[in-house]
Amino acid sequence: MNDLKLSWIASANSAETLFPLNNLPYGVFSTNGKRPHCGVAIGNFILDVTLAEESGLLTICSEPLFKAASWNKLMSQSPNVWTTFRTRLMEILAEDSSDQARAEAFLISSADVQLHMPFTVSEYTDFYAGRHHALNVGMMFRGPENALPPNWLHIPIGYNGRASSIVVSGTNIRRPWSQLKSPDDTDPRFGPSARFDIELEIGAVVGVPSNGPITVSQADDNIFGYVLLNDWSARDIQAWEYQPLGPFQSKATATSISPWIVTKAALDPFRCETPEREKELLPHLRDCGPMLYDINLSVSLIPDNGLETEIAHTNYNVMYYSAAQQLAHHTTSGCPMRTGDLLGSGTISGPRKDNRGSLLELSWGGKEPFELIDGSSRSFLEDGDTIVLKGSANGHGYKVGFGDCVGKIIEAVNDLE
């Protein structure tokens, strides 16, 4: 069986491409420093959607949707409009399309572009919904008896993060500087983080806004798509600041996202159930269909010498709560959600040691440094290290990929010192 949908663009017809016709993820790109446009990845090319709309080839609304360099205007439309747009895109790019000659004028080689933030993030919330991660971290800090907090099996725990700190893949990440305290220090000190870390996550992007409580099913309808997300985390800042109100400066340096939004429609064939419930959820959070996705994920670390080591691989299907459950929970208080709200899944760790989605877990709090293929070892990130998150759902004869989510650590600088 082969479910690859064929395009007149040859590079989109490979079983290995991340961007076949089945995918069509949405991004923002520019060439030669020109004004950024909206684009769709297809094989080794990008279709310039802003120009295609202007020309009339890809016009689906009476008013333009892609004049601004962001996908928010389409995201804010009803899901019917999302479907109309995707259907038209597929028609234009499919094998034997009568639009091929017109569309060729709007294709750019993806090697020639710079990628930008695909949407304007209105708000950012990060959750803690991976059970293996919560158990690992809980065991390290509270012992095996109290590893999972008592609320964990009843609600997806989260905190309100900062939209201003979300950056697109490729942005360098400056090591943060803040107030720190190690267990043997009597007094805190002000300095650069020595335990700077990653968190492998998937981000859900809200399309349809809401104002008041919504059901899990409505929440699933309101989600527009998904991105890879790296929640950079300074563990030594976090350890000192997190009680009693949770993370603050430890999570405020930056959060990187992949440059492409993979739509919910493209991921639909990969839907799967959440795991069996240890305690039954209250009715408003109960599962009402498969709302997780089977997405293979990996983390690689590349030091300055360029030698890449894959340090972890896991799957989004291990999460305890779906993004729809997180979004529904988020609205129970009446909290309005906006187009462009970004919800981090929480760190995605699996049951095995090589499934752990943070260095904190991989090095067990720094007690068990892990080896890289160049012979060096790591507990936490060093200046010059590059982290690459990869993700793809694998179908019969095709993949639906996110594109890499990359960030390089650069040295701490603080003008206050």
Active site residues: 133
CB of 201 to Ca ion, least distance (A): 6
Q: How far apart are CA 28 and CA 36, in angstroms?
A: 6
Q: How many CB atoms lie within 10 A of CB 415?
A: 5
Q: Is 126 in the site for Ca ion (CB under 5 A)?
A: yes
Binding residue for Ca ion, selected from 48, 199, 361, 385, defined by CB under 5 A: 199
How many residues bind to Ca ion according to rule CB under 5 A?
3
Stretch that binds Ca ion, among 81-89, 182-190, 191-199, 288-296 (CB under 5 A): 191-199
Residue 257: which residues within 8 A CB-CB, separation 6 or more? 117, 118, 166, 167, 168, 169, 203, 227, 228, 229, 230, 342, 405
Identify which of 187, 180, 219, 203 has the alpha carbon closest to the alpha carbon of residue 79. 219
Stretch that binds Ca ion, among 199-207, 307-315, 377-385, 403-411 (CB under 5 A): 199-207
Taking the least distance from each CB to Ca ion, the nearer of 123 and 126 is 126
Q: Is 220 in the site for Ca ion (CB under 5 A)?
A: no
CB of 229 to Ca ion, least distance (A): 8
Stretch that binds Ca ion, among 82-90, 134-142, 160-168, 231-239 (CB under 5 A): 231-239
Taking the least distance from each CB to Ca ion, the nearer of 138 and 397 is 138
CB of 367 to Ca ion, least distance (A): 22
Q: Is 231 in the site for Ca ion (CB under 5 A)?
A: yes
- Residue nearest Ca ion, Cβ-based: 231
Q: How far apart are CA 234 and CA 193, in angstroms?
A: 6
Taking the least distance from each CB to Ca ion, the nearer of 115 and 157 is 157
Q: How far apart are CA 162 and CA 176, in angstroms?
A: 15
Per-residue x/- track, 148-187, Ca ion (CB under 5 A): ----------------------------------------
Stretch that binds Ca ion, among 94-102, 226-234, 296-304, 395-403 (CB under 5 A): 226-234
Taking the least distance from each CB to Ca ion, the nearer of 123 and 199 is 199
Identify which of 12, 205, 53 has the alpha carbon closest to the alpha carbon of residue 125. 205
Residue positions counted in the chain? 417
Token pair 């597929």: residue: 90
Taking the least distance from each CB to Ca ion, the nearer of 123 and 231 is 231
For 13, phi and psi rounded to 5 degrees? -100, 15
CB of 247 to Ca ion, least distance (A): 8
CB of 399 to Ca ion, least distance (A): 26
Stretch that binds Ca ion, among 53-61, 218-226, 227-235, 294-302 (CB under 5 A): 227-235
Taking the least distance from each CB to Ca ion, the nearer of 128 and 293 is 128
CB of 163 to Ca ion, least distance (A): 15
Q: How far apart are CA 222 and CA 214, in angstroms?
A: 10
Q: How far apart are CA 360 and CA 349, in angstroms?
A: 11
Residues that bind Ca ion (CB under 5 A): 126, 199, 231
